[in-house]
């Protein structure tokens, strides 16, 4: 039975004849609906900013960010968390909990999303001061609600990303990012606009979080270490772009830094040995600009 109280379950009046259209017109119709998503995300950026600021404070204090989701929402959370270590060199600080575990990533397991107790169990390692973010298109998935309530009990900050701006569970969390994506091209298929909006919010949240934590320098990835020859060549290019110095000088600095890009960058721009660059980065929680400012004011 379709729950008409859920915006994503409603019937889209603009796509009633979708099954009668030729291929190109179906694609155009989907594309037209998709084009509304960025504007929806733009309307919730103040809430996303609040969540980023909470997460920055939490991670700087030694906490972690936990995602909780089921189905499409959970899979998007897993993707986001998995892509942060290779891009920003941050390991084990942003973790995803997907209802049903790894097996549910490639094969849908429908009943796990209704398991409140499973959500509570999956939240067992959330600590006071951590950030627990529930992701649910409906805004009321029992697995997610159970996890968030458990997280709140232990003193973690809580947030909800949903496509149901008026869900009553939004009042239970500190930050509710309610995305008004409306009915889907195919009623209830929340892998479409709802999934796209969720992906955009997660991209924006986690990328901004990494920027605020000093995991980039300008718009360059400087938190990736040289673990193989391909990466080493990429990082030398990044260092040459960031410093304007010759590739040979940057390659030597990277070698002296043991493959650590941020150490090499601070060493080059701060004109200090790698050991001194390492020390200053430790004092500034790894922020390149903060490290350089400290060197210049010393």
Terminal Cα-to-Cα distance of the chain (whole angstroms): 68
Q: What are the residues whose beta carbons fall under 8 Å from the beta carbon of 263, sequence distance 6 or more? A: 257, 274, 277, 278, 281
**Active-site position among 9, 113, 184, 251:** 113
Strand partners, 161: 135, 177
Q: Which of 215, 186, 198, 204 is nearest to 287 (CA)?
A: 215
**Active-site position among 5, 9, 33, 83:** 83
CB atoms within 10 A of CB 232: 17
Q: What are the residues whose beta carbons fall under 8 Å from the beta carbon of 205, sequence distance 6 or more? A: 48, 51, 52, 55
Q: What CA–CA distance (Å, rounded) separates 96 from 161?
A: 14
The torsion angle over the Cα atoms of residues 88, 263, 269 and 253, rounded to 10 degrees, is -110
For the chain, the 3-state helix, strand and coil shares in percent, each to the nearest 5, are 55, 10, 35
Q: What are the residues whose beta carbons fall under 8 Å from the beta carbon of 47, sequence distance 6 or more? A: 175, 176, 177, 178
153 is catalytic: no
Q: What CA–CA distance (Å, rounded) separates 116 from 100?
A: 12
- Tell me how far CA of residue 151 lies from CA of 92, 111, 159, in angstroms: 18, 22, 10
271 is catalytic: no
- Chain centroid, CA 65 distance in Å: 9
> Which positions are catalytic?
83, 113
């Amino acid at each position: 039975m379709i729950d008409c109280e859920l915006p994503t379950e409603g019937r889209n009046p603009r796509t009633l004849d979708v099954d009668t259209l030729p291929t190109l017109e179906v694609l155009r119709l989907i594309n037209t609906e998709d084009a509304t998503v960025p504007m929806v995300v733009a309307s919730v950026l103040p809430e996303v900013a609040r969540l980023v600021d909470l997460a920055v404070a939490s991670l700087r204090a030694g906490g972690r960010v936990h995602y909780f989701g089921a189905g499409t929402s959970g899979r998007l959370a897993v993707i986001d968390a998995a892509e942060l270590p290779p891009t920003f060199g941050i390991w084990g600080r942003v973790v995803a909990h997907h209802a049903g575990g790894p097996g549910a990533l490639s094969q849908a397991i429908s009943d796990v999303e209704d398991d409140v107790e499973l959500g509570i169990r999956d939240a067992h390692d959330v600590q006071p001061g951590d950030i627990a973010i529930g992701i649910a298109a409906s805004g009321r998935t029992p697995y997610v609600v159970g996890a968030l309530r458990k997280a709140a009990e232990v003193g973690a900050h809580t947030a909800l990303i949903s496509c149901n701006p008026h869900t009553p569970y939004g009042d239970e969390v500190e930050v509710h990012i309610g995305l008004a994506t409306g009915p889907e091209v195919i009623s209830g298929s929340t892998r479409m606009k709802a999934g796209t909006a969720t992906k955009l919010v997660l991209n924006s949240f986690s990328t901004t979080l990494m920027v605020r934590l000093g995991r980039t320098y300008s718009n360059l990835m400087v938190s990736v270490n040289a673990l193989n020859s391909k990466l080493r060549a990429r990082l030398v290019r990044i260092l040459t772009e960031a410093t304007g110095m010759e590739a040979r000088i940057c390659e030597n600095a990277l070698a002296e830094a043991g493959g650590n890009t941020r150490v090499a960058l601070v060493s080059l721009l701060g004109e200090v040995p790698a050991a001194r660059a390492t020390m200053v980065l430790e004092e500034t929680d790894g922020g390149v600009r903060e490290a350089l400012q400290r060197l210049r004011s010393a």
